[in-house]
Amino acid sequence: MQLAARDDVSDYLIAPDPGAVRLTRAVEGVDHTGARAAISVVEERPLTIFLNGQEIVTAMTIGDYPEYLALGFLRNQGMLQDGEVVKGVDYDDDLDTVVVRTDGRTSYEEKLKKKTRTSGCAVGTVFGDMMEGLEEVRLPDLAVKTSDLYALAARINRTPSLYLEAGAIHGTVLCEGARPLVYMEDVGRHNAVDKIAGWMFSEGVSAEGKLLYTTGRLTSEMVIKTALMGIPALVSRSGFTAWGVEIARQVGLTLIGRMRGKRFVCLSGEDRLVRDADPEAVPEEDGKSRRKSAPG
Amino acid sequence: MQLAARDDVSDYLIAPDPGAVRLTRAVEGVDHTGARAAISVVEERPLTIFLNGQEIVTAMTIGDYPEYLALGFLRNQGMLQDGEVVKGVDYDDDLDTVVVRTDGRTSYEEKLKKKTRTSGCAVGTVFGDMMEGLEEVRLPDLAVKTSDLYALAARINRTPSLYLEAGAIHGTVLCEGARPLVYMEDVGRHNAVDKIAGWMFSEGVSAEGKLLYTTGRLTSEMVIKTALMGIPALVSRSGFTAWGVEIARQVGLTLIGRMRGKRFVCLSGEDRLVRDADPEAVPEEDGKSRRKSAPG
């Protein structure tokens, strides 16, 4: 197995841009010895998403790819259906807003009002909505080769990222076979997934043949988002929640967690696994990647 | 410095209960060798919080201390003021609801309706509300001794917890001097903080002399919650966001991150630090505690 050089990201369609000026800031403080130290910290900004005339949500985000974040959020909330015509996506970086304009008035608007009235808060609303869509999900076949999983984990952990630069950020990567295609990072792990969903919607990319790799925990919301995106496998360095596992089993999603070095555990959809790699031949992680566990 | 034995939690007022039946579940899967493996995963349940007649929010929580979570959430949202008389807190474990009853109709109800209408979603609402209260925050003096910080970190990392048992969970600990008082864990890091706020409100415990230790990142929301609770110092193993640092500086909160072994960085409120320990005398973390980085 030939690994690409450490900072060769030429085969990514979108790779992290750890040098981007708007995403991190040097902040001065003092360290444990009392010495002044300038450390690089990630930005965190509000972004308010509108769908046509209606304000939908304010997300706390690192601030890159606001258009993808808005489209992906609306997709993953079921507010933007397949085949819906998006007339425009307007980002205003002074107001920190994105307005998504679609053809005509969408039915979600009545639904949103009703839900808001009955449950009083969008946190419950959003969750209720998302569970509803799950019954119709039919996830495609996929051969999840363990050789690909090991290659992806090694590659992603070594890819220059805001995480390696400044920490305190989540990463989610859309992958195909052994190739990471789109690597999004954000202070909120759901934002990173939503940005991938927005990219897929914008580019008309199908979920067929894809898997999602995330640094975050495999909670119910992560599993639901992945399933609604039609992606049949979700892989993480981190652990599981019981409800995340339960939902993955209900929808037939392959769920792999605690993937570090040669180790991983598959708690759902084991039938997609193709064990074509010898785990004993996989090197243990070095110190640098071992620290790359999920931020909180 | 005398460290307590590994599982001596007798000086905690509330310690984690990693053996509790309702909080984890054994789930069967397969590991990297193809062997069947039963692993322990944390629960994640919806809990809907009502204040008098109004449904406020549905939180995803591990499920312990629902009454503290409800009270703390309402406190941290400014919906339950100092001195307000709570007539009852009723948890229903079949319906997954907590109803908090106060004396008479509270003014927040009109406010919530208005906010919900204007911003369409409680995520934005909550955030807007929380920033408002910050201007009035006056944080108390505190001598944050580095000897206490090192003792706390060592102690907390070795305390038996759901994190050590099952992973995928956040911990937040209310501390006084070198003593951890209340150690709450939850799938959402904000829930762990809210449970501490609820405990403080219920028990009438003042923020004076306290500091908060968290496994999670020091984001704007964590800093805001700590400041609104009146606690003058927030310490974490994890990193910072730029806005978290900015708000800490505005309100004069001592913010210490990346605390691992002898290392830490203080990015705000350095004047409270008392450097009474020699960092070189602090042992590096062993493998077990090194893995105890924040879940995602």
Mutate to test the interface with A, among B24, B36, B44, B292 (most CBs of A within 10 A): B44
pLDDT of residue A138: 92
Strands B86-92, B97-102: parallel, antiparallel or unpaired by DSSP? antiparallel
What whole-number distance in Å separates Cα of residue A126 and Cα of residue A115? 9
Tokens (6 digits) for B275: 């450097």
pLDDT of residue B58: 84
Q: What is the pLDDT of residues A17-28, one digit of tens each?
A: 998 989 999 999
pLDDT of residue A129: 60
Q: Which residues of B touch A286 (CB under 8 A)?
A: none
Q: Are B188 and B170 in contact (CB under 8 A)?
A: yes
The residue of chain A with its CA nearest to that of B215 is: A296
* Mean pLDDT computed over every residue of chain A: 87
**Which A positions 63-102 lie with beta carbon below 8 A of chain B?**
none
Q: Are B294 and A294 in contact (CB under 8 A)?
A: yes
What whole-number distance in Å separates Cα of residue B120 and Cα of residue A45? 19
**pTM listed for this prediction:** 0.88
pLDDT of residue B135: 86
Q: Can you tell me the ipTM of this complex?
A: 0.83
pLDDT of residue A8: 80
Q: Which of A184, A191, A156, A181 is nearest to A292 (CA)?
A: A156
Q: State in Å, rounded, how far the first CA of chain A is from the last one.
A: 33
Distances (CA, A) of A277 to A38, A142, A258, B30: 43, 17, 18, 15
Q: What is the pLDDT of residues B108-126, one digit of tens each?
A: 655 555 444 333 333 444 5
Mutate to test the interface with A, among B22, B146, B150, B241 (most CBs of A within 10 A): B241
pLDDT of residue A294: 45
pLDDT more than 70, % of chain A: 85
* Cβ distance of A55 and B275 shorter than 8 Å: no
pLDDT of residue A111: 54
How many C-beta atoms lie closer than 10 Å to residue A95's C-beta?
A: 10
Quick check: helix, strand or coil at residue B217?
Answer: coil
Q: Are A20 and A64 in contact (CB under 8 A)?
A: yes
Q: Which of B244, B241, B245, B183 is nearest to B214 (CA)?
A: B183
Q: Where are the alpha helices (DSSP H) in A77-219?
A: 108-119, 122-134, 146-158, 162-166, 189-203
Strands B210-214, A54-61: parallel, antiparallel or unpaired by DSSP? unpaired
Q: How many residues does chain A have?
A: 296
Q: Which of A54, A48, A62 is nearest to A94 (CA)?
A: A48
pLDDT of residue B83: 80
What whole-number distance in Å separates Cα of residue B240 and Cα of residue A59? 18
Q: Point out the residues of chain B with pLDDT beneath 50.
A: 1-4, 114-125, 290-296
Q: What is the pLDDT of residues A83-133, one digit of tens each?
A: 889 999 999 999 999 999 998 666 565 555 544 433 333 344 455 566 777
pLDDT of residue A288: 53
pLDDT of residue B68: 98
pLDDT of residue A159: 94
Q: Give Dmax over CA atoms of chain B in angstroms.
A: 61
Q: Point out the residues of chain A with pLDDT beneath 50.
A: 1-4, 114-125, 290-296
